Each structure stands twice: as structure tokens, then as C-alpha cells.
Amino acid sequence: MLTLLKLLKDGRFHSGQALGTALGISRSAVWKQLQHLEAELGLSVHKVRGKGYRLAKPLVLLDAAGIGAKGPCEWPIHIFDSIDSTNAEALRSISGGAQAPFLVLAERQTAGRGRRGRKWVSPFADNLYHSLVLRIDGGMRQIEGLSLVVGLAVMHVLRDMGITGAGLKWPNDVLVGEKKIAGILLELVGDPADVCHVVLGVGINVNMRSTDEVDQQWTSMCLEAAKDFDRNELVGRLVAKFQHYLRLHQVSGFSAIQEEWERYHLWQGRAVSLIAGINQIDGVVMGIDRQGALRLRVDGVEKIFSGGELSLRLRDDS
């Protein structure tokens, strides 16, 4: 099925006979494969008598050479057509002895995950599903504020590519207005006090136009800019931006990035509710501290909050 898709990716018409010859199957088998392609991958195939079959729009699939066109990538790149999730594959690779750093990408995820166990909708060849694995030596200082650093890098790439309204929401989201366009999921393996591996998972809505599966406000690069984007260029730009910010973070710590992050925080000064399990804390966002924790004014007193299971929401009176 994926071989057939690669024959059709140019968006031009291909006869059933030509496709069958290329694949070594009958025309009726081609038709069955096209039906599977539509059902499993959610792609639209147009059929015109006398012309053959074509995709509703051309596909640009992820490709290491295309990614490298923006500049050399220091990290080995592993690209999958379909996978449960890039973070899950990254964790399996670590367990199997793979040497970090390396990058895992996929055309689609069958079990994409967001923070707090949420599903991350992952249609084929529409969005970016990206996990970078790093080896961390030297303890917790190398991890402080790391998810915020990743979010800042992602936001800058989106703005550089024309999504000028992109901004940050503590701790792990990139928004346009109040709509989510990207999310970050970090997972840690090993001893954070000594040597460990961290998986930097990034999901970006790139060319997705519609879905009924997302339970929150969302947008995509193509909806914001009214055009499709080359995901290979996006990955190439992300690689360069990550290399810059990760080096800065490694050398100088999160405090070197704190002020810049706050400058792009869309909820700075807003009235919010912080959700921690069944508990809710109402306050006003003051900013973040030198470790990337949230500073919240609660009943006139500044309090500090950090942790992966916290969720921040705007209050109705914000």
C-alpha cells in the first residue's frame, strides 16, 4: 500500500494498468489497494475514466536529503511510514542500546500521545511527529527548563516560517491566540542525578485542515497561512534551531533563556486556574523562575509550581 502511495504522491493521474505493472499485481488488486489506502490513511483518491487515479493533492513525504537541504544535521535520522508513536520508538531504541543523539520521525502515529495521557491526533503525511533523543550527563541542571527551551525553539521556527502569531503557554504548548498549534512531551529514562536519556517529543499541526478527534481549540500552519508547508524544510529549520538553543542551555543553563521565554508567554499577567489532579489553584501568572517553574500570585502571595502533571487554564474573568 505504501509503495502504491509513493507512485501516486506526485498528484498526477496514473492508469490502473501502469500501477499494476509497477507493483506486479492485477488492476483489480490495484483498486483494492486504493480502497485500503483511503480507509486506513484517510487520503482521498480521485478516479477518472480514461485517465486513471490520482491523489486529491500531491504528497511530499519526509526525506533525509530534503531535511539536510537546510543545512547539515548532526543527528542520525530514522523515518517511519507508520508507527505507534515516535516517543515510544525512541524509548525502545534506547532500551536496545542505540547511541544518542538521534532523531525519530514518522508519517503517521497510530497511538500518538500528548501530556497527561491525552491522544495526539496523527493523520498520515499531514503533520510533524518528531522525537529527539539526547544523552544527559551531569545531573538535573541539564534538564531544568528543557521542555520550555524546546517550546521556544519550536515557536521561533513557526514564526520564521510565517506563523507570526505563534506564542508560548506554560509549560509545553505553542499557541496561536488561544488555539494549540504544537505540543511538547518530554520523557526521561535512567538516573537524572547521573547519566540518563531524555526524549524530546514534538508534535506540530502542519497541513491538517479538519478533524473531529481533537477535544480542544486547535489550528495548523496551513490554516493560519492559507498554504501548505514542506515538512522537510520544517524539520531542517527545527534541527538548526534546536542545535542553537540546546547548546545555549547546556553551557549557560535555563536562566540564560528565562527572559526571552517570558517575552513570548501569551498568558503573562493573565488570571488562570492551575489544575493538579483533583485540586484547582486560582491565581495570576507572574512569570517563570530560573529553573522554568511557574510563578503564580495566589491571594496576593507569590507561589512556585512545577511538575509534569500540572495543567494551566485561563479563567473566565481573565
Q: From the CB of residue 32, how many other CB atoms can be counted at a distance below 10 Å?
A: 12
**Nearest to residue 169, comparing CAs of 152, 153, 157, 185?**
152
To the query of whether residue 180 is one of the catalytic residues in this protein, the response is yes
Give percent helix, percent strand, percent coil of the chain, each to the nearest 5: 30, 30, 35
Catalytic residue among 27, 57, 209, 313: 313
Q: Which residue has the cell 511557574?
A: 294
Catalytic residue among 54, 108, 180, 231: 180
The reported pLDDT for the residue numbered 276 is: 84
In sequence order, what are the residues at sequence separation of 6 or more whose Cβ sits closer than 8 angstroms to the Cβ of residue 282? Answer: 271, 272, 273, 274, 298, 315
User: What is the spatial distance between Cα 105 and Cα 108, in angstroms, rounded to a whole number?
Assistant: 9
Per-residue pLDDT 10s for the chain (318 aa) are 778 888 998 889 999 999 999 999 998 999 999 988 888 887 888 989 889 999 988 888 999 988 988 778 889 999 998 899 999 999 999 999 999 999 999 999 888 766 555 666 778 889 999 999 999 887 667 788 999 999 999 999 999 999 999 999 999 999 999 999 999 999 999 887 788 899 999 999 999 887 666 667 899 999 999 999 999 999 999 999 999 999 999 999 899 999 999 999 999 999 999 998 888 999 999 999 999 999 999 999 999 998 767 888 998 754
pTM of the predicted protein model: 0.90
Side chain identity, residue 204? I
Cell of 240: 538548526
Catalytic residue among 115, 169, 237, 241: 115
The reported pLDDT for the residue numbered 6 is: 87
The reported pLDDT for the residue numbered 308 is: 65
Binding residues: 85-87, 109, 113-115, 180
User: What is the spatial distance between Cα 138 and Cα 142, in angstroms, rounded to a whole number?
Assistant: 7
Binding residues for biotin: 85-87, 109, 113-115, 180
To the query of whether residue 115 is one of the catalytic residues in this protein, the response is yes
